A = this chain, B = another copy of it.
Amino acid sequence: MKAIQVGLLGLGTVGTGVVKIVEGHQEDLSNQVGSPISIAQILVKDRTKARGVSIDPAKLTEDAWDIVRNPNIDVIVEVMGGISTTKDYILEALERGKHVVTANKDLMALHGQEILAKAREKGCDVLYEASVAGGIPIIRTLVEGFSSDRITKIMGIVNGTTNYILTKMSQEGAAYAEVLKEAQELGYAEADPTSDVEGLDAARKMTILSSLGFRANVSLEDVSAAGISGVSQLDIRYAKRLGYEVKLLGIAERQDDMISVSVQPTMIKASHPIASVNGVFNAVYVHGEAVGETMFYGAGAGELPTATSIVADLVAVVKNMKLGVNGRQAQLPYNVVKLKTDEQIASKFFLLLHVEDRAGVLAQIAQVFSNCDVSIESVMQPSAPYKSSTEIIIITHQASKAAMNQVMQAFSGLSAVREIKSVYRVEG
């Protein structure tokens, strides 16, 4: 039986994993799809470099167009990363009737709609399970598993680097800079960690998850992102005392046709299932009107977990080829949604204030909250850590982001408040 010919764009960590799985599980795969799967051609940066897998050198090329234009290739697996050139390759491959499996979250977050539209036009599949949360089949779950439900909330730990850093800070009491350095040495964080630690990587993934979960066209600009570089040991210690963990959470919410999508360090109640997701692991918590609470947990990155998702997508593409139904199962977004304004986005908040230690200060602070119509759930005043000043920790009831901004503004004009040390969203 004729083998399915795969062109692999990229032979880094994940690409190598794809080769290993396709070769190691050849019999299993063939049993499932009814014909062998062959990796026929591979794009590499340097043909002469030594590899972690043994590959016939005749399969290697340094020119992506060789693969994209190769008429024998049925499916392109893209694990080279990058945005603009990679998009050109993928659009050209689709134009030529090739199906595409990609792990490229940046590309899908920025140009997903254009790529999916081209795929639909050409009757081709574009699958991208590996682009979010590595080995967790969350895209399939959102599209198929919850097809009958209305998803109201998605909360994700979708960046392993930052979760590793926050876990270490929480468990070992280490400082942010110190743990970041260690993560860089271990290869968990990049030399330039901005994209991870400032929440940009997570924002791209939340763009993809919220588009699918809400069946709407969410673009990257719709997602507000804040990172973890400001998270201090003090924040984490107070969070623990109050029964919370600090996690970088992507949070997407929907009410009727209004949505909000954001990424920020968040205080999450320790008893919430997502609070105990530690280290480089990822998890996506999904709340549906009918299904209630669910959570999906697993490795967010890594050679083999990510390659598992890519090869599962490849199996799906080949099954569709056998059935002759490629490009016909893709879900186009059909909900038109509006972004919530700051008046409409509500949550509890945690505040850590550095204030003067004298009678009447708490009353002044409480008055500010009251003026802004924000009610307080609890106040904690630890025994004075400084000479003439102290710290106050406040957790509010549900309040709008706009009201909280007013509170901040009022504090900046209040001499008794020396510094607003931290403000966190609170969940769970």
Contacts and interface: CB of A to CB of B under 8 A. Distances in A.
Given A137-B141, A140-B140, A32 B298 contact: no
Most chain-B Cβ atoms within 10 A of its Cβ — which of A31, A150, A292, A319?
Answer: A292
Contacts of A21: 148-149, 290
Copies in the complex: 2
Given A140-B141, A148-B25, A323-B323, A288 B308 contact: yes
Contacts of A29: 148
A326 to B, nearest CB: 10
A295 B150 CA distance: 22
Most chain-B Cβ atoms within 10 A of its Cβ — which of A31, A137, A150, A315?
Answer: A137
Interface string A1-45: 000000000000000010001000100110110000000000000
Interface string A122-139: 000000010000011100
Nearest to A315: B147
Contacts of A215: 28, 31
Given A141-B140, A147-B315, A295 B297 contact: yes
Given A148-B311, A149-B308, A323-B329, A273 B297 contact: yes
Nearest to A20: B290
A298 B294 contact: yes
A145 B25 contact: no
A46 interface: no
B312 A147 contact: yes
Q: Interface residues of A toward B: which range?
A: 35 or more
Contact of A308 (B137, B140, B148, B304): B148
A146 B319 CA distance: 14
Contacts of A393: none
Given A137-B144, A304-B290, A298 B295 contact: yes
Contact of A305 (B144, B273, B291, B310): B291
Most chain-B Cβ atoms within 10 A of its Cβ — which of A25, A136, A297, A319?
Answer: A297
A296 B297 CA distance: 6
A311 B328 CA distance: 20
Nearest to A138: B145
Contact of A297 (B135, B294, B312): B294
A342 interface: no
A331 B299 CA distance: 26
A386 to B, nearest CB: 37
A290 B23 CA distance: 13
A276 interface: yes
Contact of A292 (B32, B129, B299, B314): B299
Interface string A274-318: 001100010000001111111111110010110111111011100
Contacts of A288: 135, 308
A76 to B, nearest CB: 17
A289 B302 CA distance: 13
B328 A323 contact: yes
Given A311-B148, A323-B323, A290 B316 contact: no
A325 interface: yes
B312 A145 contact: yes
7 contacts: A25-B149, A148-B312, A149-B311, A289-B304, A291-B308, A292-B304, A296-B296
Interface of A: 17, 21, 25, 28-29, 31-32, 129, 135-137, 140-141, 144-150, 215, 273, 276-277, 281, 288-299, 302, 304-305, 307-312, 314-316, 319, 323, 325, 328-329, 331, 334
Given A288-B308, A296-B297, 10 more contacts: A31-B215, A32-B147, A140-B145, A149-B312, A290-B307, A296-B296, A319-B329, A323-B323, A323-B329, A325-B325
